[in-house]
Structure 1
Amino acid sequence: MMRTASQGRWTGILVSGLFFLTAIFLGLLIGAEQHILTALFLLLVLSLPMFYLAIFGFVDQRGVLLGCGFALMFVSQMLQNRGIPAGYLMEALIFLFMLSSLREAFKVAAADSTLRWIIALFLAYFALSLLSTVMGRSHWRGAVWQLQYNLKWPLMFALGMLMASPDQAQVVLRRFIMWSWLFFLPFLVFELAAPGLFIKLFGYAEDVHVNPLLGFSHRLRGPFSHSGYMALMCGLLASGAAACWLQHLGRRWLVLALIYTAMAISTGQRQELMSLVLVYGLFAVMAGRRHAGWIAMGAIVGVTMLAAALMVMNHNPFDEIMRQWGAGRTSELSERAILTQAGMRIADQYFPLGSGLGTYGGAGAQRFDHSLFLDQGFSRYWWFRQGIFLVDTYWPSVAAETGYPAMFLLLASFMLLWCTLLRRALTVPPAERPLVLTALAAMTLLLANSPTSAIVTDPRGAFVFWLVVGCAWRASMTRRAVSADPVRPVRQMDFSVRYQPS
């Protein structure tokens, strides 16, 4: 817009006046020794540029958002057991840039019918959850807390769409895949060599047990607050490295995939490791003839060696899980099995809308309302009395709080998102394929772990996952929208074309 010289002069005078008044007001607060008000006022002034970006638009052209996401996840996990809630910084980013991210998501949805269907399914689930809250037994504080918690995954997904340059995002992603193992390794070695000193320095973790995958040693968590977070992050990095190797970016990516897989094994997390194996199997099916033979041969050799080793050691890594879910007559049910069974009972009792948000198995109920737990007789369990394991399930809590119809709507939105990523991974140009494959792996890891974990909507463990998914979705949709000759679907992937950075 054209501006005259007089307009520019008056703008400068206005800005100078605002700075002058701000300085006077800050001086008065300091002079009156209003320390709390001074801190709040400084925080407001410092946050104004961020609010400006959030309201009037922000687009990341350099992949800074993805780099900050990785850094925030690593730092927040290191500080969590020291009582420093740095993880709330990720949630602040999610809600601070909510207007910009939703604006970008709806802009993409205007040219993407699949995204419109996903939004429609989620809004239908959201409407049913609100209706269940009104008709159920929700308390307002628990319901509000659970409501904002349920909004985190779509907002993280939309936030990823603010990354407008897929090439720069891939550069940042490859750098973290290339070097994160050097950051993890000293922690793992220290934890293995001196576990007692490691716990004193980095805090106690709830999963200090023998590694059930190996039958010896203990579960390693590295710089993370829990071995599950470590295993999930290693799964994402291993999948990203495997995607780069399949795209012929070099054998070093295969070595990195093996390193991160070994680190995932060291955590002793069975479900996260099986999710990673599922991703590898998906990649093998998609790779076609060129790599299927080598991958199949490696899988057969690996499974045979693993089975032989377990037979020699007389060790079944899944024996404990089978007993905890009632496989043995004298076995005691695990916390997750108890939470799952109770969640299904509540969904049946309050059919079809459920008991309402913030009443069972979620963050809202954990923080504000234990009444439904007490009605189900949870007071006899020691872990409930100590307030732990209450959010160790996902789908049972969704069914209990919002009912079976809402649960199926949410599941349908997830599956439509996953299937679309799979289809686009088969059709995108080679330059974008590693990013879309990594996004497909991220979605697979989150969904495969959702039966026994609420990680799918928890920024502490899924922030970067959803950023990658959102960025890959926008990248694949942008190329499809601007291309005059859209890429036609093919029956199997062709990984023979080398990646050429633009």
Structure 2
Amino acid sequence: MLQGISVVYLFPSMQVFQVIALLFSFLGFPRLWVYIKNSKILTSAFILYVIYVFFGVVSLFFSPYGKVLAGLVQVLANFKIYFMLAAFLYLFKFVSPSKLLSNIQLPYILISIVFLFVQWVFPSAYILITGYYKVPVELTGYIKYPGMSIFNHPSVFAAVSVFMALYNYSRWCSGEGRRTFFLFIFNVFLLISSNQRQEIFCFIISIYLLTLYKTPVNLRARSAVLGLFFILSLVGVFVVLFFDSFIREFYLWGGGMHASNIPRYLHYSGALEFAERFFPLGTGFGTWGGLGSLQYNLDAYYSLGMNKHWWWSTREAYIFDAFLPNILAETGWFGSLIFLANYFLIIFFLS
């Protein structure tokens, strides 16, 4: 089922796919409701989500920063996991997720390589074709121009390539032939071309765990030890390649002497402040770090003087920078735990 959701939202940067996925979501809601009623896990997850919404709505009316329109927008934004489930349930009534994933492997690789070539060799043409306003430049890592392919950010390209690589590696370990191994190698190349440290690190750990899972039980202990040495070697190479990036991130997360002027640090520290000041409910939906606050309600940011910082004119790039500050500030500690429990139950249901 995880395969299915990944296919439905495989191209999140392209609006036409977003519209199609949203249409599938609406068509799939009746079927989703049947699943919710018949599955104890999904029923529990949905009940937790309703409690979470109750927390956010109640806190919205008690908060000095609450605005109804911003709150409604944020409720819909937080409902996206159920939109994804509904779209999956509708689409894959008609086609097998595994068959569809197998059929798109080669086209995905070929299209990605073509777009990478254009991006690196003819960046002006790439911008003209894709409509993106610039090609990213990375001052740290091993590639100056992180690959984006058909996506609007290297991290999206990396995430899709990780999924494709793991999917083919799993098929190869199950004995599906050399073709899946070569598809795996090409997807690893695409991942490396993105120059994204988080996705590459997760890929290294996932490969290790997947290998153990596919290894016969009587050989797992030996494989675990031998594989650990190999993984530690890869992690060592990873640290060397991204060392400058780690130093940069240290300062972006508030390390050093100038934390009070760093957007990411302010985002988290503000969320913690509101979670404590408005304990246990938080500031309410549409007040901090989400779509609702960005579009319709910046009062909480003004109250902390965020508009006086150098990054405020480009705040769109920072307000969405992290997810946890959003739920922590808006629904407090209890609401955050309830929302995360809802997500874990959904993942457990899909697995």
Q: Give the Å deviation of 1:406.
A: 0.9
Which residue pairs with 2:136 in the alignment?
208
Counterpart in 1 of 2:281? 353
Q: Which amino acid aligns with 1:103?
A: W
- Match of residue 324 from structure 2: 395
Q: Which one-letter code corresponds to 2:137 in the other structure?
A: H
Question: CA 1:181/1:219 → structure 2, altered by over 3 Å: closer, same or farther?
Answer: same
1:186 aligns with 2:111: no
- Partner Cα distance (2:255, 2:105) in 1: 40
Unpaired runs of at least 5, structure 1: 1-62, 422-468, 474-502
**% of aligned pairs identical?**
19
Deviations 1:194-221 (A, max 9, x none): 223322432345771226331x422111
Alignment pair present for 1:245 and 2:184 = no
What are the within-5 Å matches in structure 2 for residues 446-485 of structure 1? 469=350
Show the counterpart of 1:367: 295
Unmatched tracts of structure 2, length 5 or more: none
TM-score of the superposed pair, with normalisation by structure 2: 0.85
**2:207 — aligned with what?**
280
CA drift of 1:298 comes to 6.3
| 1:123 and 2:53 matched | no
Distance 1:337 1:272, change over 3 A: farther
What one-letter code is carried by the residue in structure 1 that aligns with 2:30? Answer: S
Question: 2:90 is paired with a residue of what secondary structure?
Answer: coil
**1:236 maps to what in 2?**
163
Whole-Å separation in 2 of the counterparts to 1:314 and 1:138: 42
Corresponding letter in the other structure for 1:245 = W
User: Are 1:406 and 2:342 counterparts?
Assistant: no
1:245 and 1:296 map into 2 onto residues whose CA distance is: 22
- Cα RMSD of the aligned pairs, angstroms, is 3.2
Q: Secondary structure at the match of 1:183?
A: helix
Q: Distance in 1 between matches of 2:242 and 2:57?
A: 51
Q: Are the counterparts in 1 of residues 22 and 87 from structure 2 also a CA contact under 8 Å?
A: no
Counterpart contact for 1:213–1:265, Cα < 8 Å: no
**Counterpart-to-counterpart distance in 2, 1:69 and 1:314:** 32
* 1:261 match: 188
**Residues 261, 161 of structure 1: CA spacing in aligned structure 2 closer, same or farther, 3 A cutoff?**
same
1:69·1:90 contact (CA, 8 Å) conserved in 2?
A: yes
The 8 Å contact of residues 55 and 331 in structure 2, kept in 1 or not, is answered as yes
1:91 is aligned to 2:22? yes
The answer (yes or no) to whether the contact 1:207–1:227 under 8 Å persists in 2 is no
Structure 1: which amino acid aligns with 2:250? M
1:150-169 equivalences in 2 (<5 Å): 150-162=78-90, 168-169=96-97
In structure 2, C-alpha distance between the alignment counterparts of 1:88 and 1:319, rounded to whole Å: 39
Closer, same or farther: CA 336–166 of 1 in aligned 2, 3 Å: farther
1:63-142 equivalences under 5 Å are: 69=8, 74=11, 77-78=13-14, 87-94=18-25, 96-97=26-27, 99-106=29-36, 109-110=37-38, 112-136=39-63, 137-142=65-70
Partner Cα distance (1:327, 1:170) in 2: 45
Q: Which has the higher contact order (CA 8 A, sep 6+)?
A: 2
- Opposite residue 102 of structure 1, the aligned amino acid is L
Aligned residue among 146, 152, 173 for 2:101: 173
Cα shift readout 1:97-144 (whole Å, capped 9, x = no counterpart): 2542333323xx42x322222222222212222222232232121111
Given that residues 7 and 101 in structure 2 are in contact (C-alpha distance below 8 angstroms), is that contact kept between their aligned partners in structure 1? no
Indicate if the aligned counterparts of 1:399 and 1:407 stay in contact, CA closer than 8 A: yes
Contact 1:177 1:240 in 2 (8 A): no
The answer for the alignment partner of 2:145 in structure 1 is 218
Q: Measured at CA, do residues 200 and 127 of structure 1 come closer, stay the same or move farther in structure 2, by a change above 3 Å?
A: same
Farther-moved stretch of structure 1 (245-254 vs 288-297): 288-297
Would you say how many aligned residue pairs link Structure 1 and Structure 2? 345
Does 2:350 match 1:415?
no
> Is the 1:245–1:254 contact (alpha carbons within 8 Å) kept by the matching residues of 2?
yes
- TM-score normalised per structure 1: 0.61
In 2, are the aligned partners of 1:144 and 1:364 still within 8 Å (CA)?
yes
Give the equivalent residue in structure 1 for 2:236.
307
The structural deviation recorded for 1:318 is 1.7
Equivalent residue, structure 2, for 1:377 = 305
For the Cα contact (< 8 Å) 1:207–1:226, is it kept in 2?
no
For the residues of structure 2 that align with 1:226 and 1:177, how far apart are their CA atoms? 20
Note the C-alpha offset of 1:296.
6.5
Distance of 2:81 and 2:60 partners within structure 1 = 20
In 1, Cα distance between equivalents of 2:93 and 2:18: 26
The verdict on how the C-alpha distance between 1:302 and 1:113 changes in structure 2, with shifts beyond 3 A counting, is closer
**Residue 353 of structure 1: how far off its partner (Å):** 0.8
Residues 208 and 231 of structure 2 are in contact (CA less than 8 Å); yes or no, is this contact kept in structure 1? no
Deviates more, 1:224-233 or 1:191-200: 191-200
* Distance (whole Å) between structure 2 residues aligned to residue 165 and residue 89 of structure 1: 16
